[in-house]
Amino acid sequence: MKDTDEDFMQLALEQAGLALNNSWIPVGAVFVRNGQVVAHGRKTGINHPLFDHAEHNGCYQALWSREGPRNLDGFTVYTTLEPCIMCLSMLMTARVSRIVYALDDPYGGGGFLLKNPSMLCPRFQEERPVITGGVLQEASKDLLRQFFSKQVGAKNWSDKNNPLVKLVMG
């Protein structure tokens, strides 16, 4: 492995594929420090659906794998979808240094907060991760398209006007 953003994002996409294989929304994340994958996350169905997010699950795994200080300073998180506000807050609280994501989330993405630091509380105005978007976005979009194609056809699907669904489905 060359240890590029694309290489690590490919690993996050593999996590997303595992979620898709289990009929969960295909979002995956990997947590990397010093070129080594320390943790990974995806929706698993184990936790409550509101909190069963790839970044959330991976963050817990990464934090509990650490000896010494319980933060993720020096970590880069690769995630296949722009983190929501909840996950972004968790990653910032854990002191993640960098976030790399594949696809913008026009429905629930929290990246706008990092682009507008005056909207953040004072602590996070000074200390916030560097964020990079658009890495392997088409691969992420393809996985989401597969998922939404099945969901949109379901009788109980109520999110047809969701901006993310519109972005992915065209």
For residue 156, the model assigns a pLDDT of 57
Question: pTM here?
Answer: 0.91
> What one-letter code names the amino acid at 117?
P
For residue 158, the model assigns a pLDDT of 62
Residue 26: name the closest of 93, 81, 102 by CA.
Answer: 81
Domain boundaries, the chain: 5-169
Superfamily of domain 5-169: Cytidine Deaminase, domain 2 (3.40.140.10)
Q: Sign of the CA dihedral 128, 137, 51, 78?
A: negative
In a structure prediction context, what are the per-residue pLDDT tens digits for the chain, which is 170 residues long? 568 999 999 999 999 999 999 989 999 999 999 999 999 999 888 877 778 899 999 999 999 887 656 899 999 999 999 999 999 999 999 999 999 999 999 888 888 888 788 888 888 888 889 999 999 999 999 999 999 888 766 655 566 677 888 888 77
- Contact of 84 with 108, CB cutoff 8 Å: yes
- Contact of 67 with 33, CB cutoff 8 Å: no
> What one-letter code names the amino acid at 169?
M
Angle between helices 137-152 and 5-21 (to 10 degrees): 10
Residue 53: name the closest of 65, 63, 40 by CA.
Answer: 40
Residue 102: name the closest of 152, 167, 36, 49 by CA.
Answer: 167
- Could you count the other beta carbons within 10 Å of the beta carbon of residue 119? 11
Task: Please give the positions annotated as active site.
Answer: 55
E-assigned strand segments in the chain: 28-33, 36-42, 75-81, 98-103, 130-132
- With tokens 């393809």, the residue in question is 142
